[in-house]
Structure formats: structure tokens, C-alpha cells
Structure 1
């Protein structure tokens, strides 16, 4: 009578193995790539060559380390369900954009590390839900501008690093809500000290000098002068910084406005800029090659599971008939 018992055990083992594979276990103890510590609730997925965030990160994770990988994009729901996170490390990846709302469920987050990526801009309101954030690293990216009010909700912030980017200005009032700020890195940016927009930053640095560390290191483009030394006479121009990479000079706009339709020349517009003008955006997240391979392997695993189940059932039926 051991035949049916063995078959039943085989069914249980196969079911358990398939469920584990289907869940895409994260931790090494479950066959995943990350190291999990049940006591500290720390999940370490750093330096794994990842191009996508592993699935099934434990929902009670407190500290998630994803640094030193090859992440180039994040799905909007990347961290949904991880509302107990207090530390999120994404440094040294290849992130070019952040989807709006990607951090919206991380209400307890205190440290966010985005340094050493390739971010050119930030979505409006990207940090609005992170009201407990105390440390935000954004240095060594390619940020060209900051959205209006991007830091307004970060009233608990103590450390902010913006050094080594491509910032020429900050919006009026950009740092006014950061009453608890003690460290702000602004150096190694091409601050445009010829425009009136720089006066907010210059005045703010003079006001906070001595209470916020490192702000005096901000220098005008070319390193000719410190931003805090700029006067109203020096910053005399009314400069306009467009949101897109290509702007039409005002002289052309004036000429076109005063011309007949028949006289308007056809201006070649690069396709990518035309798409930006129309508000076109790339999808938030496209499947990466490893994700596709994981999907294929999942289907193959499912097929193999059903084949083995069928074989086990046939074996039981055959044994019962003999009995």
C-alpha cells in the first residue's frame, strides 16, 4: 500500500516547489538573489547586476538596499506594499527617470539614496508623500532643473545633496520649507549668475550661512565667483529656462507672428522634441530581458508542473486498478 502514499507525497512536493517558483522568492534561503535578515528586517540586493527589482520583497522590510546594480527604470508600483520601509538605497544605478507616484506609499521613509544615477529631471510632487524624510541624496546625477515646490513637504529634512549636477538655478522659495536642514551640498553645478533668478539662492545662502553646512561652496558657472557674493547689478538679466531641451528664440516668434501664413518658413523640428512638445512620454516601465526570461521560465515551470501532476495521477489510478 506504499504506492498511493508515495504518489501523494510526490504531489505535495511538486505543488510546494511550483508555488515557491511562481512566487519568485527573493531571499537566498528561498532560492532568490537577495540576502534577508529576519531580525533587522534588512533586505540586501546590492551588487547583483539586477536590471529589475526582485519580486516578493517581504512586506515588513525596514531597510532595502538596491545599490550598485543596473536598474535603468522603475515601474510605478515598484515599492507598493512596502509601507514599512525607512531606508531605501538606489545609489549607483542607471536610473534616467522616476515615474510619478513611485514613492507615494513610503510614508515612513527616512533615508532615500538616489545618488550616482542619470536622472535629468524630477516629476512634479515626487517627494510629497515622504513627510518623514530626513536624508535625501541626489548628488552626481544630470539634473538640469527642479520642479516648483519639489521639497515643500519635506519639513523634517536635515541633509540634502544636489552637488555634481547640471543645475543653473532653483525655483523661487525652493528651500523655504526646510527649517530643519543642517547640510546642503550645492557645489559642482553651473549656476547662472547673470540671471535674476539666482538672487533667491544667493540671498538664501547669505541668510543661512553658519547654520546650514557647505552652502558657501556654490560657485557661479566657470568658478569665477561664489553665488553668495552675487549682487543685483551683476544678476541683471531676465533669463527664461524652458522645460524642454529646445526653445524657439523670441526673435523668430515675433517674426512669425507678424508674417502671413504663406510667408512662414517650414522649420525642421526633431521628432523627439516634437513629441515632448505634444506631451508624449515613454511608458513608465518596459519589461527587461531578465523579466521576459522569468516569465518564459514561469510558463515552462507551470507546464512541467501539470505534466508531473498528470503522471502522478495516472500512476495512482494504475496502482488502484491493480489492487
Structure 2
């Protein structure tokens, strides 16, 4: 009777070992879903329907592609241990936010693609560890504003793409540290999937862009009636004379005139724009609390500040989907484990009855 029992135990051990190995596999050669190249240290997990980052990505990986998946959130530790990554692409997913610290271990990263997601806001300091970053795409998201200082550590950045968002303003000095920037895109493409809403830029917004070669500003509703636009008009005119590309793409919302052609007489008004990145003042909250619901006006408060006002923090303690179930091999392994385990149990019961 010991023979069948030992056999059943052996089957269970073998099936458990097999499923454990499958769960930990990332590369196809090991039963995973991603294509891995040992020579180039590239891992491609694109178009796999992933809802979480695969586990056990080789630590030697230098390029990681996770494009065209269904990632809606990332674990704060998603890329920990991948300090050799120089290229990371998360294009065409469903990311709505980024957990603070998610990129902190990517100290060698040169390219980061976050375009074609659903990002509504960026956490402050989210890019602070990416001091070697040269290429950053954030286009075609839902960003309404940028945190102050969000690009302060990106002194090596050469391309910044913010096309097709919902930006209503840019903070003072947000581009001041980008001394090596060649290309800045704040425009809207021909499809206008999203629409930036920039009416002006702060005084001195572009002054530190010493190496800028291409600036895209088209299709924003630039307000040429207010004298706040004069800084931008004079700067663009100067840069046009210096041969900067794209300076004539900024057109006034009314009349279609190029911003760089606006005169002081045309932009004579003293306009005051609401600070759309400021949380609701306490006095307004008190007033609203004592008013009828029908009398409460809609206030355009961006998501990041409203959450900050409410004391919201990105949860990092919630359980995440088991990464062992993210790949086909994981599912097949689980099924195989259940089948083998059931067979082993039936095998033992059969021999116990005969005994």
C-alpha cells in the first residue's frame, strides 16, 4: 500500500514543481508569454492582454516593451530590480495614474514611453530618479495640469512630448531645468483626440530652453486679447529670427493670426485667469456646505489637487492580481496541477479500497 501512496505524493510534488516553474516564467523558451533575446537583453511582452507586469523579468534586461496590453495600474515595485533598463515602453495601455516611486530603480533609463494611456495626473517627483532620461512621451493622455517641478531632475532630456492632452496651464518654471531639450510638443494632432487648452504661458516659461530646435504649439486656444500673451509673442518672434522650427504654428483663438505677430495694441487687456491647479479654498467649502445642492456651482478642480485636498493617497497595501495568473502558461499550469492532484487522490483512494 505504500507504493501507491508514494507514487501519489511524487505526482503531487512534480505537478507543484512544474506549475511553480511555469508561474515564474516570463520568456517563451521557459513557458512564459514574452519574447526574450539573450544577446540584446531585450524583452517584448507587447499585445499579450496583460493586466499586470510579468513576474521574474530577467534582471539583465536593458529594453522592455509592454505595449498594447490592458494594464490599468502598476505596482509600486513593478520595475524594482531592473536597474539596467535603458528603454521602457508602456504605450497603448489603460494606465490612469502612476504610483509614487514606480520608476525609482530605473537609474539608467534613457527612453520612457507613456503615450496613449489614460493618465489624468502625475505624482510630484515621479521622474526624479530618471536623471539619464533623454526621451519622454506623455502624449495622448488626459493630463489637465503638471505638478510644479515635475521635470526638474531631467537635465539630459532632449524630447518631451505632451501632445494631445487636456492641459489648461503650465506651472511657472516647469521647463527651467531642461537645458538640453531639443523638441517640445504642446500641440494637437490632426485627429484632435484630446485637446490641450493653453491660453498663455507664464512669463519666462521658455527662457531656459537654450538648445530648443523644434517647438510645437498649434491648435491651442491662445488668447491674444490679453497682454499676458506678449511674452510669448516676443519670444517666438525672436526665435523665428534665429531659425527655430514651429514658432509660427501658434495661432490666436480669435482671428487666426499668428501669436508672434501680435502687437501691444492688440493685446491691451489685463486679463486674470483662474488658477485651475489650486484646491478649493476653505471659505468656499464652508459656503458650499451651507448652500442648497441646486445652488452649488461647478468648480473646475483637477483630479490631483482634489484628491490631495481630501487627503487621498495612492493605496500601496491593496492586494494585486497574482502575477502567476498573468500568462497562458500560468493558466495551463494551474489546470494541469488540479488534474494531476485529482488523479493522484483518486489513485490513492482506489488502492486503499482494494487494501
For the aligned pair, the TM-score class normalised by the smaller chain equals 0.7 to 0.9
User: What is the TM-score when the length of structure 1 is the normalising length?
Assistant: 0.74
Pairing 1:237–2:271 present: yes
Q: Secondary structure at the match of 1:174?
A: coil
Cα distance in 2 for residues equivalent to 1:229 and 1:97: 39
Give matches, 1:190-205, under 5 Å: 190-193=197-200, 194=223
Question: Structure 1 residues 75 and 288, CA, compared in 2 at 3 Å: closer, same or farther?
Answer: closer
Contact 2:53 2:323 in 1 (8 A): no
2:291 is matched with which residue?
265
Contact 1:184 1:213 in 2 (8 A): no
Query: Which whole-Å CA distance do the structure 2 matches of 1:235 and 1:66 have between them?
Result: 49
2:112 alignment partner, SS class:
strand
Which of 315, 322, 345 in structure 2 is aligned with 1:283?
Answer: 315
Q: Deviations over 1:205-255 (max 9, x none)?
A: 5565557654653445578455555677457323233337x958x9x8499
CA contact (8 A) 1:199 1:235 kept: no
The range that moved more, 277-286 or 64-73, is: 277-286
- The answer to whether structure 1 residue 20 and structure 2 residue 7 are counterparts is no
Distance 1:53 1:205, change over 3 A: farther
Give the TM-score, by structure 2 length.
Answer: 0.68
Cα distance, 1:208–1:161 mapped onto 2, change above 3 Å? farther
Give matches, 1:4-153, under 5 Å.
13-14=14-15, 16-23=17-24, 25-153=25-153
Q: Higher RCO, 1 or 2 (CA under 8 Å, sep at least 6)?
A: 2
Distance 1:75 1:202 in 2: 44
The aligned length equals 302
Q: Which moved more, 1:101-110 or 1:293-302?
A: 293-302
Structure 2 residues without counterparts, runs of 5 or longer = 189-195, 201-222
Unaligned runs of 5+ in 1: 319-323
8 Å contact kept, 1:113–1:137: yes
Q: What is the alpha-carbon distance in structure 1 between the residues aligned to residue 286 and residue 26 of structure 2?
A: 61
Task: Describe the shift of the 1:186–1:106 C-alpha distance in structure 2 as closer, same or farther (beyond 3 A).
Answer: same
Instruction: Output the CA distance in 2 between the equivalents of 1:302 and 1:200.
Output: 68
CA apart distance, 1:176: 1.4
Cα 1:227–1:51 change in 2 (3 A) is: farther
CA RMSD after TM alignment: 4.4
